[in-house]
Amino acid sequence: MTMYLLCLFFLTSLIGFLIYKVFYKKRQLYNDRFGMILAMSCSGILSLNISMLSQFIISDYLFFIMIGTVVLGGSVGIVFGALVKYQSLLAGFLHGIVGSLTGNMLGIVVKDPSICSLPAQYFSMIDQNILIFSAFGTLLVMITISIVYYSLRV
């Protein structure tokens, strides 16, 4: 199962890198309002999926992963926000940090259901829940990135 999670992690990173390359090539075309919305959506969903998958992959050192993924989400937001003008950098930074905190919370709750006082039935279904949530997160990344990419033509 670690192999599957690692494949999804690299797929998410590849999607983020490709969409950054596309937007870097066309950065002269759009105005600052579209740049702000681009930074918000892309950095939020990418940092959410990356932090959730890294909580699933490494099961120990919970707080160090949290600190590392929050720093990573903030830097992803800064990189996407710095494309157009520096006023969209703040929106990207905020949404990257909020997305990575949400992803950490979801990963910890799925791994240890007694935090949210979920019923004891869940302790026998942790592996199945990890599979479903990682596939759902990657599907959300694909849908969001395709919507954002489609908005270049509208």
Partner 1 sequence: MIASYLGYLFYGNLLILSLTFMYVFRIRKLIGFQLGMNISTLAGGFTAIITGVILIYQFPLKFVIVTIVTTLIGMIVGGVFGSLFDYQTLLTGYGNGLMMGIMSPMIGAAAKNSYVFLTFLEGIFIVSLFLLVLSAKRT
Site residues for partner 1 per CB under 8 A:
33-34, 37, 40-41, 44-45, 48, 95, 98-99, 102, 105-106, 109, 113, 115-119, 121-122, 129, 132-133, 136, 140, 144, 147-148, 151, 154
CB nearer partner 1, residue 33 or residue 85? 33
CB nearer partner 1, residue 20 or residue 30? 30
Q: Is the dihedral of CA 151, 9, 77, 44 positive or negative?
A: positive
Minimum CB distance to partner 1, residue 154 (Å): 5
CB nearer partner 1, residue 29 or residue 154? 154
Minimum CB distance to partner 1, residue 58 (Å): 21
Phi, psi of 125 (to 5 degrees): -120, 25
State the SS3 of the chain.
CHHHHHHHHHHHHHHHHHHHHHHHHCCCCCCHHHHHHHHHHHHHHHHHHHHHHHHHHCCCCHHHHHHHHHHHHHHHHHHHHCCCCCCHHHHHHHHHHHHHHHHHHHHHHHHCCCCCCCCHHHHHCHHHHHHHHHHHHHHHHHHHHHHHHHCCCC
CB nearer partner 1, residue 20 or residue 34? 34
The size of the chain, in residues, is 154
Minimum CB distance to partner 1, residue 55 (Å): 14
Minimum CB distance to partner 1, residue 124 (Å): 13
CB nearer partner 1, residue 14 or residue 118? 118
Minimum CB distance to partner 1, residue 79 (Å): 18
